[in-house]
């Protein structure tokens, strides 16, 4: 009796629409916040999605895939974009349909790094809010946000349908299943952006709900028509939603009566075939024109042949390595990788989510009393596995196939499966506790991803107060070109080792409204004048271009200088700072200098057995463990002696050759050494001291040059292998050298 009362209480709790409505409302609030903290076009492919919307709104036709000019997402079916044009087409937009916003050239320099440094792909001067204020809701910004807000409503519908599916399968877990979707940071992020992956998720959730009801109650003419319409609309939303046919067929073809029940079996199959034909007929009537258009334009029904031609597609054969390499990115981008992937969450988040999911699914292995809704679970599992297979195939044929958003149509099924498995570990009376913990945990993750990762990455620097300006450390007060004044600076730490980093905080004050976007350079130079580390960036670490400056406003920028592990040490260096126009001159101080020299920095050697110790792994065969130069300044015709220290990692069976080059800015070779590595009878692990003379060419112009080193066997170079196993190229760059005229 007590257990029956507990089940009744949980069912009443789950059926109370107040909780799911609260989840949906909180989702809308968070998705709106994500949207307001994402500048225009920063979400993946948003610019090309919005071009599609504008093409329909302006030209009243569909775009065609073409190799010429700026592209839209022209290969996608048009339903979402037509709705977007309907919602936003009335807005007066000054920009051309295919206009190109200003690109931030530094956005992808450290894409793997969790930071707020140059994460914006575009330079935003007038389409984002100033210092935390709302963006201007007019013109192109208003049009984009109208489509974004339409997408938020679609995302909220996905959350609600997930709850309804959960009620059909695990009633007491429906709310937490919906919460897993609602508070998924990636789902929130894309719900606040212009894209067709959220509508694809809506199609998946809607089809799944009808299929689960068919599994529980049997097919009906109403279900046939509903699924036919839904499947047709899905095919007009995104091509890979054709895979929804798998759960539809499963819903209609199971459970087939045993052969002994001949009449029942015949009636069942007749009914199933009739229902499937109705579904396919309605879907063809709704979406068939789109496939006929593809055939007429591109010569195939799907248009994928043209997609592969334009987007570097490949044959799937022999590309299983791509699947292996792509799975970690697929997993992380399912939960939260913002922008074009350059804004990840901390790795511990991805690991924790993996362990949670693995634990939850393991719950189905626990024997317990009571039967599971196996027919519904089979539909959920089929949907997940089908879309996983689709994404694996896409990884095989497309370099950009490992995107977690491609799994969104199966996300409701996945979350309900997770909650069902997790509940198997607990007594039924404690199911509510697990649901509450999961809901609160995901909500906390969603809030953290917003305020701890997304918002700081695109936030502009805060204006300094008068007292903060007066307290700026190391006052300088020099102007650069009448554009900005350097008020002060701070450099931390004063000592650094190769592989380490420096933080240089510069206090700027805008002097005038700039009409061009100047770039800040912060360089660490050695005592011989070579650049050891540098940071070139638009102000605000890319988020506050000079054309957005307000005269008189002061702000602080902190630039991070990352020293390469191959930096030469010991050495004495210094920091210099300035401004320049891309492709143009540096701005000058009143006394004619083009850079301001700031603090001195001591570059200390890392501990190791050899000079300039490094650990550069060449294909798992041999390790470069250190190097030494007898000079770093030379005149044309002079020789630089380079000593390399190699350690074999395996028995050397090949006749490896070592190359060492002095390289110019366009990889011209100005000095060369290429000869066999003297490795005969050298045991594994024993050091090989390799001395090479690099004679600088007589026509070498004065300047700074890289020294590159690598191994080859007369053909391909040996790849440099990172700690995680991926390849870094076929060379390593050592210290720069300087060539002087005399």
Q: What is the mean pLDDT of the chain?
A: 90
Name the nearest CA neighbour of 655 among 626, 624, 621. 621
Are 430 and 543 found together in one domain?
no
Do 626 and 660 fall into the same domain? yes
Residues 671 and 572 in one domain: no
pLDDT at residue 73 is higher than 50: yes
> Residues with Cβ < 8 Å from 293, sequence gap 6 or more?
62
**What's the structural domain count of the chain?**
3
pLDDT at 15 over 70: no
The whole-number pLDDT of residue 130 equals: 46
Judge whether 118 lies within some domain: no
Positive or negative CA dihedral for 619, 622, 625, 626? negative
- The pLDDT of residue 131: 44
Q: Which residue has the higher pLDDT, 684 or 151?
A: 151
**Has residue 575 been placed in a domain?**
yes
Distances (CA, A) of 560 to 133, 457, 459, 464, 572: 27, 15, 17, 21, 18
Q: Tell me: pLDDT of 700 over 80.
A: yes
147-161, 371-385, 660-674, 682-696: which is most confident:
147-161
Residues 360 and 502 both lie in one domain: no
Domain boundary among 572, 603, 634: 603
Distance CA 119, CA 456 (A): 10
Rounded to an integer, what distance in angstroms lies between the CA atom of residue 180 and that of residue 353?
11
What confidence score (pLDDT) does residue 370 get? 63
61 and 160 co-located in one domain: yes
pLDDT-based confidence at 306, cuts 50/70/90?
confident
Beta strands in 481-630 (DSSP E): 484-492, 495-496, 501-510, 519-526, 531-537, 554-562, 571-580, 596-603, 616-618, 622-629
| Domain with 714 in it | 616-739
In a domain, 526, yes or no: yes
The CA distance from 658 to 711, in Å, is 5
DSSP letter at 310 equals H
689 and 574 fall within a common domain: no
Query: What would the pLDDT profile of 464-503 be if each residue is shown by its tens digit?
Result: 999 999 999 999 999 999 999 999 999 999 899 999 999 9
Torsional sign, CA 49, 50, 54, 57: positive
Residue 720, domain CATH: 2.60.40.1930
Residues 180 and 208 in one domain: yes
547 within a domain of the structure (yes/no): yes
In a domain, 726, yes or no: yes
Band of the pLDDT at 12, cuts 50, 70, 90?
Answer: low
Residues with Cβ within 8 Å of 483's Cβ and at least 6 positions away in sequence, in order, are 510, 511, 512, 514, 518, 546, 579, 587
Q: Are residues 585 and 675 in the same domain?
A: no
d(CA 647, CA 680): 13
Please count the helices (runs of H) and the strands (runs of E) in the chain: 19, 22
Q: How would DSSP label each residue in 615-665?
A: -EEETTTEEEEEEEES-SEE-TT-EEEEEEEEEESS---S--EEEEEEE-T
233's tokens: 């609309």
Q: Does 609 reside within a domain?
A: no
132 versus 53: which is more confidently predicted?
A: 53
The per-residue pLDDT for range 217-266, each reduced to its tens digit, is 888 999 999 999 999 999 999 999 999 999 999 999 887 766 666 777 78
pLDDT tens across 518-568, in order?
A: 999 999 999 888 889 999 999 999 999 999 898 999 999 999 999 999 999
Q: Are residues 382 and 528 in the same domain?
A: no
Residue 502: partners with Cβ closer than 8 Å, 6 or more residues away = 491, 492, 493, 496, 524, 533, 560, 561, 563, 575, 601
Q: Which of 376-385, 657-666, 721-730 has the highest mean pLDDT?
A: 376-385
Let me know if residue 88 belongs to a domain.
Answer: yes
> Residue 431: which pLDDT band, with cuts at 50, 70 and 90?
confident
Judged against a pLDDT cut of 80, whether residue 8 lies above it is answered with no
Bond preceding residue 493 cis, omega within 30 of 0: yes
**Do 629 and 678 reside in the same domain of the chain?**
yes
pLDDT at 10 over 60: no
Rounded to 10 degrees, the C-alpha dihedral 69/70/75/78 comes to -120
> Of 557, 582, 603, which closes a domain?
603
Q: What percent of the chain has pLDDT over 70?
A: 94
Say if 166 falls within a structural domain.
Answer: yes
Both 654 and 517 in one domain: the answer is no
Question: Which CATH number do you get for residue 587?
Answer: 2.60.40.2550
Tens of pLDDT, residues 654-682:
788 899 999 987 888 999 999 888 755 56
Cα separation, 507 vs 559, whole angstroms = 11
Pair 371, 492 in one domain = no
Structure tokens, 697? 């060419």
402, 423, 455 — which closes off a domain? Answer: 455
Question: Which band of pLDDT confidence, cut at 50, 70 and 90, is reported for residue 447?
Answer: very high
């Amino acid at each position: 009796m007590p257990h029956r009362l507990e089940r009744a209480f949980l069912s009443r709790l789950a059926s109370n629409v107040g909780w799911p409505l609260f989840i949906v409302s909180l989702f809308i609030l968070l998705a709106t916040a994500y949207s307001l903290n994402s500048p225009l076009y920063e979400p993946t492919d948003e610019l090309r999605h919005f071009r599609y919307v504008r093409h329909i709104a302006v030209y009243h036709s569909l775009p065609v895939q073409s190799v010429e000019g700026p592209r839209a997402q022209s290969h996608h079916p048009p339903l979402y974009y037509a709705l977007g044009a309907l919602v936003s087409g009335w807005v007066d937009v000054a920009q051309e349909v295919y206009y190109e916003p200003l690109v931030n050239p530094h956005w992808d320099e450290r894409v793997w790094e969790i930071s707020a440094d140059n994460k914006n792909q575009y330079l935003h001067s007038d389409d984002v809010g100033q210092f935390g204020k709302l963006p201007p809701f007019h013109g192109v910004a208003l049009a984009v946000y109208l489509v974004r807000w339409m997408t938020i409503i679609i995302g909220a519908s996905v959350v609600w349908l997930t709850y309804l599916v959960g009620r059909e399968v695990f009633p007491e877990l429906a709310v937490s299943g919906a919460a897993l979707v609602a508070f998924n940071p990636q789902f929130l992020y894309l719900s606040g952006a212009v894209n067709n992956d959220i509508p694809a998720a809506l199609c998946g959730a809607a089809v799944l709900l009808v299929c689960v009801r068919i599994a529980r109650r049997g097919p009906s003419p109403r279900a046939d028509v509903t699924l036919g319409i839904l499947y047709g609309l899905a095919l007009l939303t995104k091509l890979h939603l054709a895979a929804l046919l798998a759960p539809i067929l499963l819903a209609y073809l199971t459970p087939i009566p045993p052969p002994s029940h001949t009449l029942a079996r015949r009636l069942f199959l007749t009914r199933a075939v009739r229902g499937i034909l109705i579904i396919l007929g309605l879907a063809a009537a709704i979406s068939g024109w789109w496939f006929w258009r593809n055939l007429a334009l591109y010569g195939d029904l799907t248009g994928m042949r043209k997609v592969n031609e334009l987007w570097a597609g490949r044959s799937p054969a022999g590309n299983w390595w791509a699947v292996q390499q792509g799975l970690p990115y697929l997993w992380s981008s399912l939960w939260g990788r913002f922008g074009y992937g350059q804004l990840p969450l901390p790795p511990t988040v991805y690991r924790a989510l993996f362990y949670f999911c693995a634990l939850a699914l393991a719950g189905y292995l626990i024997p317990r009393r009571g039967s599971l809704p196996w027919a519904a679970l089979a539909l959920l599992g089929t949907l997940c596995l089908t879309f996983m297979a689709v994404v694996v195939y896409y990884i095989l044929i497309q370099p950009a196939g490992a995107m977690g958003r491609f799994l969104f149509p199966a996300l409701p099924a996945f979350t309900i499966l997770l909650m069902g498995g997790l509940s198997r570990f607990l007594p039924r009376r404690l199911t509510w506790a697990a649901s509450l913990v999961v809901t609160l945990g995901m909500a906390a993750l969603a809030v953290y991803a917003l305020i701890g990762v997304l918002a700081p990455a695109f936030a502009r620097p805060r204006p300094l107060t008068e007292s903060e300006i007066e307290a700026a450390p190391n006052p300088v007060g020099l102007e650069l070109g009448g554009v900005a004044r350097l008020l002060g600076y701070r450099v931390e730490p004063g000592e650094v080792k190769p592989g380490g980093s420096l933080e240089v905080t510069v206090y700027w004050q805008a002097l005038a409204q700039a009409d061009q976007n100047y770039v800040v350079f912060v360089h660490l130079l050695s005592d011989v004048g070579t650049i050891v580390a540098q940071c070139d960036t638009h102000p605000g670490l890319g988020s506050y271009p000079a054309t957005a400056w307000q005269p008189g406003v002061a702000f602080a920028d902190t630039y991070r200088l990352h020293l390469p592990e191959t930096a030469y040490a010991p050495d004495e260096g210094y920091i210099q700072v300035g401004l320049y126009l891309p492709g143009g001159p540096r701005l000058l101080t009143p006394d004619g200098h083009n850079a301001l020299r700031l603090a001195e920095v001591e570059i200390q050697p890392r501990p190791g057995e050899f000079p300039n110790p490094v650990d550069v792994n060449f294909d798992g065969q041999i390790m470069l463990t250190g190097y030494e130069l007898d000079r770093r300044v030379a005149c044309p015709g002079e020789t630089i002696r380079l000593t390399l220290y190699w350690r074999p990692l395996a028995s050397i069976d090949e006749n490896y050759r070592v190359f060492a080059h002095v390289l110019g800015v366009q990889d011209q070779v100005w000095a060369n050494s290429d000869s066999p590595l003297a490795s005969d009878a050298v045991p594994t692990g024993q050091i090989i001291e390799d001395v090479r003379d690099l004679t600088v060419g007589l026509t070498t112009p004065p300047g700074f040059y890289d020294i590159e080193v690598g191994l080859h066997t007369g053909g391909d170079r040996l790849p440099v292998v990172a700690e995680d196993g991926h390849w870094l190229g076929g060379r390593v760059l050592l210290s720069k050298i300087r060539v002087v005229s005399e």
